[in-house]
A and B are shown apart, each in its own frame.
Chain A
């Protein structure tokens, strides 16, 4: 018995380890990395059907939260039936991957979709997140928020590992044609700080823990439903329910 006892112990531990892994991978929904989905898929995707890969619960219960920065950064008409509110961090790689997905949804759904961006810089996880949020908000004070927003995401890999990002962001400010001196003053001004703080406060009141977090008509869209193919179906289903 003593000779086989160690093998029994080893087999028991192996069974427990494999059993736990199997159970946990089955209970936690698989989440493909954002951006690994085909961004060129057409909008004629099949709707969600029972047994499809869309998470069964497409959104969570509606939440209200405190107001964020006012006025918010909004794309699309106020009377759009679908309102998406994204809490994003310009330095967060998954947010960078989500950026083209949201652009694609904007193109596909047009006036039926309104997109709001909320600042949620993850400090201190991302060293330049706050500077990037400030740059976007400072550009926003000159009416060019979305232009700066797009540049920050599209060139995320160019600046996130740099030591000093200010000259890079000033280059973006020049590129989008805003008054750079005013932009530099606004970057460190109270108004920009207050806007970021207000958006962060709203995020915390809604239970946002990470980025990107997206709410659709006040209900959180689970992270696993954010890849393009799934988000499209979630939006289509929401429109059908309206």
Chain B
């Protein structure tokens, strides 16, 4: 069971690095120029990239850092942290689904770093919420 939290902590670290990178891109405007391979300029310059004046990527970085902290606390025996972490991961996954919808149907551009974040959140959901339930369900049978 401990392995789950080690994996979750590592995934959250990757997500944190990704979100931090996107925050810096947003704040410095490096993605504002259109480039051959990146749809990030359209995504980061869209009105959906900011919530109440705060870059969405910065909120994502804070969320990944919180998941990392909760996973570490759970690993060290603070079991209450595991429940909060799972609730956070479910919320982050729901937000990721919404952001994917916005990229696909509203902005009509995909940013590869946003896609990576969605992949990490989905993996976090599988590792911390879905897989343990399946294991428990299998054991019950």
> Do chains A and B stick together as partners?
yes
Q: How far is the CB of A57 from chain B (nearest CB, A)?
A: 16
A3: chain B residues at CB < 8 Å are 76
A32: chain B residues at CB < 8 Å are 29
Residue picked from A24, A32, A89, A126, most chain B C-beta under 10 Å = A24
Q: Is B32 an interface residue (CB 8 A)?
A: yes
Which residue of the partner chain A has the closest CB to B74?
A6
Q: Is B108 an interface residue (CB 8 A)?
A: yes
0/1 per residue, A106-150, Cβ < 8 Å to B?
A: 000000000000000010011000000000000000000000000
Which residue of the partner chain B has the closest CB to A92?
B34
Q: Is B73 an interface residue (CB 8 A)?
A: yes
Q: Is the CB of B34 within 8 A of A126?
A: yes
A224: chain B residues at CB < 8 Å are 29
A6: chain B residues at CB < 8 Å are 72-73, 75-76, 78
Q: Is the CB of B72 within 8 A of A9?
A: yes
Q: Is A239 an interface residue (CB 8 A)?
A: no
A161: chain B residues at CB < 8 Å are 108
B108: chain A residues at CB < 8 Å are 161
The A-contacting residues of B in range 28-87, CB under 8 angstroms, are: 28-30, 32-39, 41-42, 45, 61, 65, 68-69, 72-73, 75-76, 78
Q: Is B23 an interface residue (CB 8 A)?
A: yes
Q: Is the CB of A210 within 8 A of B76?
A: no
Q: Complex formed: what's the CA distance from A144 to B120 in Å?
A: 50
A209: chain B residues at CB < 8 Å are 35-36
Q: Is the CB of B24 within 8 A of A31?
A: no
Q: How far is the CB of A11 from chain B (nearest CB, A)?
A: 10
The count of chain A contact residues (Cβ–Cβ below 8 Å) is: 36
A92: chain B residues at CB < 8 Å are 34, 41
Q: Is the CB of B65 within 8 A of A25?
A: no
0/1 per residue, B96-115, Cβ < 8 Å to A?
A: 00000000000011000000
Q: Is B16 an interface residue (CB 8 A)?
A: yes
Which residue of the partner chain B has the closest CB to A129?
B34
Q: Is the CB of B28 within 8 A of A17?
A: no
Q: Is B20 an interface residue (CB 8 A)?
A: yes
Q: What is the interface of chain A, defined by CB distance below 8 A to chain B? A: 2-3, 5-6, 9-10, 13-14, 17, 20-21, 24-25, 28-34, 89, 92-95, 122, 125-126, 161, 209-213, 223-224
Q: What is the interface of chain B, defined by CB distance below 8 A to chain A? A: 13, 16, 20, 23-24, 27-30, 32-39, 41-42, 45, 61, 65, 68-69, 72-73, 75-76, 78, 108-109
Q: Taking A17-B16, A93-B34, A213-B33 as given, write out 11 further A-B residue pairs in contact, using a Cβ cutoff of 8 Å, ordered by the A residue number.
A: A28-B28, A30-B28, A34-B32, A92-B34, A92-B41, A94-B41, A94-B45, A122-B36, A125-B37, A210-B35, A223-B32
